[in-house]
Amino acid sequence: MQLDATDRRILRVLQKQGRVTNAELAEMVNLSPSACHRRVQRLEADGIIADYVALLDPKRIGRPTVVFVEISLSGQRDDILDAFEREVARVPDVLECHLMAGSADYLLKIIAADTEDFARIHRRYLSRLPGVAQMQSSFALRTVVKTTALDI
C-alpha cells in the first residue's frame, strides 16, 4: 500500500497521541472528520495500524530494571529454534525476543524490579529454556532514547 502525505501525517499524530479524538485528528491533519475516519479505517484494515495500546511506565509499576539477554542455542535445527521460541513466548517478563544474525542466536529484552528479581526470572524461566548453550545478561544503566514512533 502506498502512503500519501496525509496518511503519514495521520500516522505521525496517532503514534504520539493515540487517544486523540477523530475530530481533533481531522483538524490536525486538515481533513474533514468523515474523510479522516475513512483513512484511519483503511490504515487499520490494511494492517498499517497494527494495534492500539497503553504504554506503561516501568518505574511507576515497580519494574525499572531493563536487562538484555543474549542467548546462543546448542544448534540451529528447526525443532530447536521452534522449541525455544515456543517456550520463551511464555515468559511473562520478556518484552521482546529477536532472532539474531551474529554471535548470539536470540536477544531478549526483559524488565525486572531489581537484580534480585532478575535472578528469580533467570532461575524460574531462563535457565529452563530448551536448547540453550550459553546466556549472557547485560543490565541497562540508563535509557538514552526510547520511542515507539516509527519515522514515516
Could you tell me the pLDDT band of residue 110, with boundaries at 50, 70 and 90? very high
pLDDT: which is higher, 1 or 55: 55
**Cα dist. 86→36, 96, 123, 131, 132 in Å?**
40, 13, 18, 12, 13
Architecture of the structural domain at 5-45:
Orthogonal Bundle (1.10)
In sequence order, what are the residues at sequence separation of 6 or more whose Cβ sits closer than 8 angstroms to the Cβ of residue 112? 63, 65, 67, 93, 118, 121
**Residue ranges of the chain assigned to CATH 3.30.70.920:** 65-139
Kindly report, as residue ranges, where domains of CATH 1.10.10.10 are found in the chain: 5-45
pLDDT grade for 1, boundaries at 50, 70 and 90 = confident
Could you tell me the fold of the domain covering 65-139?
A: Alpha-Beta Plaits (3.30.70)
